[in-house]
């Protein structure tokens, strides 16, 4: 692989709904540029970008991969992303380092939930975009219908740059509306007579939008009502880079029709790294923002956008250079850790193939193996010029499982393997739930978590069993009470004596636990008061109703007594335990459950079903909003009711709905539900006690 400077590089993310043909398009582009000698097929599990065993088994993309191709003096970094919503984090990483997004849309299905989602992500980043209507050879493929649907949804910035020749199985090429030339494979010809009116109509739409890209062009357009071919090209280039024009192309990636022109289109019309707005970096030492000019000679700023764990090669770090030059066998600084990293051999990646290279210049993508403490979202820079680039914002997980190691060996290796997995995929969270004692893995859906567990087994030889996590309930009190907690024990010799009077008071939700003392006249000596607090903090971990932690209350030690010989810290700790066990049952104890904020996005026609289902889940619908043909419902619901909502929503909306979820607060569990939970907890404790006795 040759080295390229910024103006000859194009960073193109292939995004879209699952199965819209992103990987097939990448394969066709690789094949047409001579990077591969055969056209890989997803169904045959032999593509360059889907090299992970899980991807080949499932026949879907799971990870983002970089597949660069060289064409006519240009290097086009194709970034092939997963379309399945569970792996949206991978796609967000790709968009962070791309300069243009190609959104693939199925010619039969048109706009799908994945199309909406990727469009939203592009909006967040102000990323230039191009639409490629794929699968034009399929039955019921309808180019005009999809273009009209896109214009209706996303406005008049959408303009067809091509018109297809032939329909469905007779699809054989396309007409370029700028040059008014027809292309059938590699041959060029005249526009078929029956398409001339369509081409002129689409050309008119394109000219109108292209003219709006600059004052000079719009002036000329108002004067003459037309633009020259060269002026349209200028308008196209400016319009794509500025986001005011979204050109629509068409083809069939699997049949390799309408793919060749894409390469020319990328070179002519999509922005190079130097034509993109400058990246803003924060100088770590001065805390001032700097604009990076994107040149090779500027201060080094390389952004880590992906990390891949490999049990044999070690950690592989994917980066994009935004300023300066990365060199093999050099040293750089990590602005997050302020530590030095030794850069060994640099690579350009093509799928799983690692092509050695000496320099990676500004604007290009590269990789390096075996960095020490560098992870996704870090910035590599010069030690004398520490810079920090904007991080990728990942969606919150919505689906969790509890993890149990299958064997003792799995337990020993589990922690390290999970850490490597989370380094590789920042949308995965692994944590220990302190209230239930379970190890939890949270991800974007059941497929996401299932793939992660499978990878642990394949890559690191760690086998884990999964189960539904316990809900982290808590307990609290609803009224004030005062109680004596007295611990007295005489066993011959020195005895034990601690006497406390404690007042329990409810606190507002989310306040946690407070301990204060109002002891007068030394009825409890100062040296024993910390022991009372310690005893109270120990005992609140096991509540009186169902054994869940007790929270949102205050314990006030206001009186007591002591014995000059028999009192000790231990005696006062145990006295605090007794006060809790006697006082809390008298203070109106109730069970609390976590309540989540939800934002659910579904096609209009499903809204009634979703609202009805939420009502059965004890949810409170707080608002409904309209975004085009989509309804956005905001609600709050108890975690116990929506722990598996990712699966429920997909089945209710035929896979077209998606949602986000975040913890909001704890609320009281209705008494009829609480009694079932308490009864179940008692049985579990009784079962554990029986096991202990055996």
pLDDT digits (tens, 9 = 90+) for 530-557: 999 999 999 999 899 999 999 999 999 9
pLDDT higher than threshold 60 for residue 691: no
300, part of any domain: yes
- Do residue 193 and residue 261 come from a single domain? yes
Share the mean pLDDT of the chain.
Answer: 90
**In the listed set 252, 275, 298, which residue is the last one of a domain according to the structure?**
275
Three-state SS for 206? Answer: helix
Number of domains in the chain: 5
pLDDT higher than threshold 80 for residue 250: yes
- Do residue 509 and residue 548 come from a single domain? yes
325, part of any domain: yes
Three-state SS for 189? Answer: strand
Q: Which residue has the tokens 């469905």?
A: 168
Q: What pLDDT, on the 0 to 100 scale, is given for residue 540?
A: 95
Q: What pLDDT, on the 0 to 100 scale, is given for residue 694?
A: 45
685, part of any domain: no
Q: What pLDDT, on the 0 to 100 scale, is given for residue 251?
A: 95
- 60 compared with 381, residue with greater pLDDT: 381
Q: What pLDDT, on the 0 to 100 scale, is given for residue 88?
A: 87
Beta bridge partners of 109: none
**In the listed set 469, 490, 512, which residue is the last one of a domain according to the structure?**
469
Q: What pLDDT, on the 0 to 100 scale, is given for residue 522?
A: 86
Q: 88-97 and 113-125 helices cross at what angle (nearest 10)?
A: 40
Per-residue pLDDT tens digits for 177-192: 999 999 987 788 889 8
For residue 293, report the phi and psi dihedrals to the nearest 5 degrees.
-80, -5
List all residues 6 or more positions away from 639 whose beta carbon is below 8 Å from its beta carbon: 471, 593, 594, 595, 596, 663
CATH number of the domain encompassing residue 601: 3.30.70.240
Three-state SS for 632? Answer: strand
- Do residue 436 and residue 363 come from a single domain? no
- Do residue 290 and residue 262 come from a single domain? no
- Do residue 410 and residue 450 come from a single domain? yes
**In the listed set 588, 618, 644, which residue is the last one of a domain according to the structure?**
588
The count of other CB atoms within 10 Å of the CB of residue 694 is 4
The parent domain of residue 457 ranges over 399-469
CATH number of the domain encompassing residue 406: 3.30.70.870
- Do residue 285 and residue 407 come from a single domain? no
183, part of any domain: yes
- Do residue 298 and residue 404 come from a single domain? no
- Contact by Cβ (8 Å): 78, 64: no
137, part of any domain: yes
Per-residue pLDDT tens digits for 586-634: 999 999 999 999 999 888 889 999 999 999 999 999 999 987 778 899 9
Distance CA 493, CA 422 (A): 57
- The band of 524, judged by pLDDT with boundaries at 50, 70 and 90, is very high
Residues in the chain: 694
Mean pLDDT is lowest, of 63-72, 148-157, 225-234, 581-590, for 225-234
- Do residue 243 and residue 352 come from a single domain? no
For residue 653, report the phi and psi dihedrals to the nearest 5 degrees.
-115, 20
Mean pLDDT is lowest, of 42-56, 224-238, 490-504, for 42-56
CATH number of the domain encompassing residue 582: 3.30.230.10
Query: Model-level pTM greater than 0.75?
Result: yes
- Do residue 250 and residue 163 come from a single domain? yes
Q: What pLDDT, on the 0 to 100 scale, is given for residue 291?
A: 93
CATH number of the domain encompassing residue 51: 3.40.50.300
- Contact by Cβ (8 Å): 21, 105: no
Q: What is the DSSP string of 472-489?
A: --EEE-SS-EEEEEEEEE
Residue in 300, 303, 305, 289 with CA at minimum distance from that of residue 323:
300
- Do residue 54 and residue 200 come from a single domain? yes
Supply 194's token pair. 């029956």
- Measured in whole angstroms, the distance separating CA 329 from the mean position of its chain's CA atoms is 33
Q: Starting at the edge strand that comes first in sequence, how are the strands of the sheet with 181-184 ordered?
A: 162-165, 173-176, 181-184, 187-189
- Do residue 108 and residue 53 come from a single domain? yes
Task: Identify the DSSP state of 550.
Answer: B
Q: Which residue has the tokens 């980043």?
A: 125
- Do residue 194 and residue 301 come from a single domain? no
- The band of 656, judged by pLDDT with boundaries at 50, 70 and 90, is confident
């Amino acid at each position: 692989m040759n080295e390229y400077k910024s103006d000859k590089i194009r960073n193109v993310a292939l995004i879209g709904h699952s199965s819209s043909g992103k990987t097939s398009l990448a394969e066709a582009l690789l094949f047409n540029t001579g990077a591969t000698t055969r056209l890989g097929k997803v169904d045959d599990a032999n593509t360059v970008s889907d090299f992970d065993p899980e991807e080949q088994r499932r026949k879907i993309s799971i990870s983002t991969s970089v597949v660069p191709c060289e064409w006519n003096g240009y290097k086009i970094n194709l970034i092939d992303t997963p379309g399945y919503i569970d792996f949206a984090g991978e796609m967000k990483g790709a968009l962070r380092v791309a300069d243009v997004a190609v959104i693939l849309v199925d010619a039969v299905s048109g706009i799908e939930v994945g199309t909406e989602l990727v469009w939203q992500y592009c909006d967040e980043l102000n990323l230039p975009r191009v639409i490629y209507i794929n699968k034009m050879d399929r039955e019921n493929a309808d180019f005009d219908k999809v273009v009209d649907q896109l214009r209706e949804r996303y406005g008049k910035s959408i303009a067809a740059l091509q018109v297809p020749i032939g329909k469905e199985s007779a699809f054989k090429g396309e007409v370029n509306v700028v040059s008014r030339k027809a292309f059938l494979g590699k041959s060029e010809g005249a526009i078929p007579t029956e398409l001339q009116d369509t081409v002129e109509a689409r050309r008119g739409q394109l000219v109108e939008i292209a003219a709006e890209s600059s004052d000079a062009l719009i002036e000329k357009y108002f004067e003459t009502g037309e633009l020259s071919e060269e002026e349209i090209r200028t308008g196209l280039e400016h319009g794509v880079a500025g986001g005011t024009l979204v050109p629509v192309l068409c083809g069939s990636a699997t049949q390799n029709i309408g793919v060749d022109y894409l390469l020319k289109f990328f070179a002519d019309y999509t922005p190079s790294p130097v034509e993109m707005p400058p990246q803003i970096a924060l100088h770590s030492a001065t805390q001032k923002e700097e604009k990076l000019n994107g040149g090779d000679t500027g201060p080094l700023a390389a952004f880590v956008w992906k990390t891949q764990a490999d049990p044999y090669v070690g950690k592989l770090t994917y980066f994009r250079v935004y300023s300066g030059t990365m060199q093999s066998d050099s040293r750089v600084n990590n602005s997050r850790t302020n530590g030095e990293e030794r850069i060994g051999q640099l690579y350009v990646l093509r799928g799983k193939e690692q092509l050695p290279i000496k320099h990676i210049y500004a604007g290009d993508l590269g990789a390096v193996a075996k960095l020490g403490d560098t992870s996704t979202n870090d910035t590599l820079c010069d030690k004398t010029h520490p810079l920090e680039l904007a991080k990728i914002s990942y969606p919150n997980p919505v689906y969790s499982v509890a993890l149990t190691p299958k064997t003792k060996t799995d337990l020993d290796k589990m922690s390290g393997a999970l850490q490597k997995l989370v380094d590789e995929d920042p949308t995965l969270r692994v944590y220990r739930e302190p209230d239930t004692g379970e190890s939890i893995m949270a991800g974007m859906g059941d497929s996401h978590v299932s793939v992660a567990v499978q990878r642990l087994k394949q890559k690191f030889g760690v086998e884990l069993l999964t189960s539904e996590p316990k809900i982290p309930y808590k307990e609290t009190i609803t009224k004030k009470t005062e109680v004596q907690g007295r611990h007295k024990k005489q066993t011959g010799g020195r005895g034990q004596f601690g006497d406390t009077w404690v007042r329990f008071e409810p606190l507002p939700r989310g306040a946690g636990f407070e301990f204060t003392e109002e002891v007068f006249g030394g009825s409890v000596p100062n040296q024993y008061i910390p022991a009372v607090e310690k005893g109270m903090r120990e005992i609140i971990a096991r509540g009186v109703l169902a054994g869940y932690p007790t929270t949102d209350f205050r314990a006030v030690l206001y009186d007591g007594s002591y014995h000059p010989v028999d009192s000790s810290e231990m005696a006062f700790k145990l006295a605090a335990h007794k006060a809790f066990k006697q006082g809390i049952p008298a203070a109106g104890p109730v069970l609390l459950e976590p309540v989540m904020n939800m934002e659910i996005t579904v096609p209009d026609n499903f809204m009634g079903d979703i609202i009805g289902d939420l009502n059965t889940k004890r949810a409170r619908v707080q608002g409904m909003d309209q975004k085009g043909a989509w309804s956005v419902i905001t609600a709050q619901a108890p975690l116990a009711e929506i722990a598996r909502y990712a699966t429920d929503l997909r089945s209710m909306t035929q896979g077209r709905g998606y949602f986000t979820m975040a913890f909001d607060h704890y609320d009281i569990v209705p008494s009829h539900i609480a009694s079932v939970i308490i009864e179940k907890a008692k049985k579990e404790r009784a079962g554990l006690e029986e096991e202990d006795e055996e």
